[in-house]
A and B are shown apart, each in its own frame.
Chain A
């Protein structure tokens, strides 16, 4: 098939970007979206041009590195699919495809379609862990965890940190990302102990990073490639609000 690609080009965060149009022939329906971009880049390089920068790594939908806004949707229209797992069989000959980077002030553009998501790392560093050192653990079976509870924790923990939730949100809120970690760790007994403190610290860091507020729109869940539920946001709110009533850990 033949495609028209309108791709955001921007040399770095300090300069203005613009859309540039590329025509691409002979796209196979079996290609993944990123393989299609590889072919485009090979073509650009053969003409001694500057290839389109985009982030990618595992190409199995698990590392969270890729994340393009395709026709207005982070990771494209298919539900539960990362950009690298989106295949060209979902497009047709003659399509015009718009490809942009995530747009959020907490995710500055590095070049073209690549953005910095360091803010996510700093949120995890603020409290997204269980405070246990290596060697301190008791036997893995010492605390039974009900099967469905473990699965609930897993569903929240399946977040790949790609940032699509932020890109999808009109407020550029990171609530789904933050809540997924808070909910994962609050659901298992090992993480429950410091759940309130964790919620406070992670929320404080989220605010510090200039992410927007959550207004319960739900676009994050709709666009999430791992289908992380907005129910996690309710869990985060519960942990955060109830921490206001605990003596030592006043919510600020």
Chain B
């Protein structure tokens, strides 16, 4: 049976929808808010912002994080910046342009009304963050500074050095902490959601494991919000933090929520290349570096080979023998093409034998030209008429250090190479997941009372997210969207008394969870959780990564099933369930990655087109660019999980474009 997916997009013209809707939606009176309880899972930008804001509004909020502190959420690691349609630079930016760039950047696979709302509230986010004391970069006049990011031709990205995510998360964390001190929000740290509890079809609570003593605990509320981030760690190697996982969202899927567009994963073009098989995590170099860095590989394979074998260095290759392939292939956007385009181009270069790391999997990101340009301009500003080369380099490096100092430092720490003197080596890596829980315009899933925000939902980025838009969406959902839209549901619940956790629904969910734990603990096999995760990641990267084909996806589904069976026969989880046990935490997460990974492959197999981060080798133009099929695939696929032995069922939400004409996405 097909589930009807109602997007609940309000009527009216695109620009008026949100304003009109907000002004007419149902409210919950302050006396009722005090009685209504909300559970929020996750304390990243979305979760912390939502918890703080709902607490301010007077709801009774319980917020959960598996970390020791909300401030550790992986939003903290976002480097480059946050977009907002402020048009402070007077360069023609507007709400419409941000909306349009995001729709186009997402390759026309997101919902118009959601994206327009995102662009509208983007402006409030900057104001809010400034009011919280977030130290954004400023110009000498004291006004906010901006820079450019991939896929756009205006300068609308606000930043705090290369630590924008950190500063925005700390702002949200501090706002959350204030509510904790005021008693409106209860904070449960070191608690991991392991199941969703439904009562009469509505989301009414969670089962969480207290990670310090291993006890399962029950929590009830009128509504549950999942803001637990993305599932990039399905791939094992990714830029996600080690503990990022899909469990909260996946457990919701297991209870009937739909997982939308799971095959839309973003491979980020500028990461530090893999150096050895002991690695479990990759490090991102911010996209902002492509503002000033030029991407290239040697024109001929001999030079590339010499570099790989350590006989030559990047600086030894003369200008004429370098191929600045992004500038050559995409003159309009150059090095600032969107992430999916840049990643695929790097793969093409390396597949042609032009890679510059011993593994063959790296391209250069070079700052020599920027250092010279900035050096000259700084010399002029200091009234030095004929600066010598050394002075130019010195000045240029100073400017680069001011802009990207911490990134350059991080690169040097990890690789042991000085990126001021030798070009950086970079290669694409899994970074972000556009897919996630299916939500309507209210950010509510198909399970009534269950909401999802931030990277955990699928809503705004289509098939490819633009740089500096993740922070924008997380905070938009948390500060400015959910606190309104959740009222639509809760206004119907004012007569619902608080739920007791001794209901059979809670008891059963706890039993199910305990059974999952007991099952994993009792295998007592011979292989570590880590070794299984690494094998799953390799299957996913090889067959559902930067490029995919039907045959590979089919074999991946088979391999994942086999690996999962092996897991439950031979995994070894040390220690006891009733204690602080990080290996058990990991074992539960990896168990969920198997199931999700399989659904991702089904989604990638069913989507017989190439769009955004989803590149099917069978569907490309003669020049090798992605070939979209708007006639047959302008929809959101939302997957219903049916269990281990059955195929997941696909439901479709047709995407309607009333304002934007679907075009071939060209950055040439």
Contacts and interface: CB of A to CB of B under 8 A. Distances in A.
B242 interface: yes
B67 interface: yes
Contacts of A117: 68-69
B572 A145 contact: no
A25 interface: no
Contacts of A85: 410, 413-414
B324 to A, nearest CB: 28
B163 interface: yes
A140 B144 contact: yes
B138 A150 contact: yes
A101 interface: no
Contacts of A246: none
A130 to B, nearest CB: 5
A154 to B, nearest CB: 4
Interface in B101-127: 124, 126-127
Interface stretch (A92-100, A185-193, A207-215, A230-238): A185-193
Contacts of B135: 150-151, 153-154, 157, 184, 188
Highest count of chain B CB atoms <10 Å: which of A35, A62, A146, A147: A62
B2 interface: no
A130 B174 contact: yes
Contact of B131 (A42, A56, A190): A190
B410 A61 contact: yes
Interface string A63-83: 111000000000000001100
B177 A129 contact: yes
Contacts of B3: none
Contacts of A154: 135, 160-161, 163, 167
Given A58-B76, A118-B69, A140-B130, A125 B143 contact: no
B133 A188 contact: yes
B91 interface: no
B582 A134 contact: no
Interface string B157-188: 00011010011001001110110110000010
A134 B70 CA distance: 18
Contact of A190 (B124, B133, B284, B575): B133
B477 to A, nearest CB: 12
A49 B163 CA distance: 39
A132 B171 CA distance: 11
B142 interface: yes
A78 B431 CA distance: 29
A139 to B, nearest CB: 6
A150 B135 CA distance: 6
A144 B189 contact: no
A65 B279 CA distance: 19
Contacts of A241: none
A59 B283 contact: yes
Main secondary structure, interface of A, reads loop
A29 to B, nearest CB: 8
Contacts of A145: 138, 142
A42 B52 CA distance: 40
B266 interface: no
A49 B572 CA distance: 10
B235 interface: no
A18 interface: no
Contacts of B212: 110
Given A111-B580, A154-B161, A138 B410 contact: no
Interface in B145-164: 160-161, 163
B74 A150 contact: no
Given A35-B278, A38-B530, A161-B69, A134 B480 contact: yes
Contacts of B86: 140
A53 interface: yes
B280 interface: yes
A20 to B, nearest CB: 15
A130 B130 contact: no
B259 to A, nearest CB: 25
Nearest to A157: B135
Contacts of A21: none
Contacts of A128: 174, 177
B243 interface: yes
Contacts of B131: 130, 132, 136-138, 190
B311 interface: no
Given A65-B68, A150-B137, A188-B133, A59 B278 contact: no
Given A56-B242, A134-B128, A134-B480, A81 B413 contact: yes
B241 interface: yes
A161 B128 CA distance: 23
Interface in B272-310: 275-276, 278-281, 283-284
A57 B67 contact: yes
Contact of B53 (A30, A50, A134): A134
Interface string A118-136: 1011001111111111111
A38 B278 contact: yes
Contacts of B167: 154, 157
B574 interface: yes
A46 B529 CA distance: 11
Contacts of A116: 68
Nearest to A46: B528
A89 B416 contact: yes
B589 to A, nearest CB: 13
- Most A CB contacts (10 A, CB to CB) among B52, B71, B86 go to B71
Contacts of B178: 125, 129, 131
B170 A157 contact: yes
B479 interface: yes
A114 to B, nearest CB: 7
Given A63-B77, A140-B130, A39 B480 contact: no
Which 5 interchain pairs have the tightest Cβ spacing? A144-B142, A129-B174, A137-B131, A137-B127, A154-B135
5 contacts: A31-B278, A58-B76, A60-B283, A140-B144, A154-B167
Given A87-B414, A131-B178, A135-B128, 12 more contacts: A12-B580, A31-B276, A35-B278, A53-B582, A59-B242, A129-B132, A132-B128, A134-B483, A139-B127, A154-B160, A160-B166, A188-B135
Interface of B: 49, 52-53, 56, 67-72, 74, 76-77, 86, 88, 124, 126-133, 135-144, 160-161, 163, 166-167, 170, 173-175, 177-178, 180-181, 187, 189, 212, 241-243, 275-276, 278-281, 283-284, 409-410, 413-414, 416, 479-480, 483, 528, 530-531, 572, 574-575, 579-580, 582-583
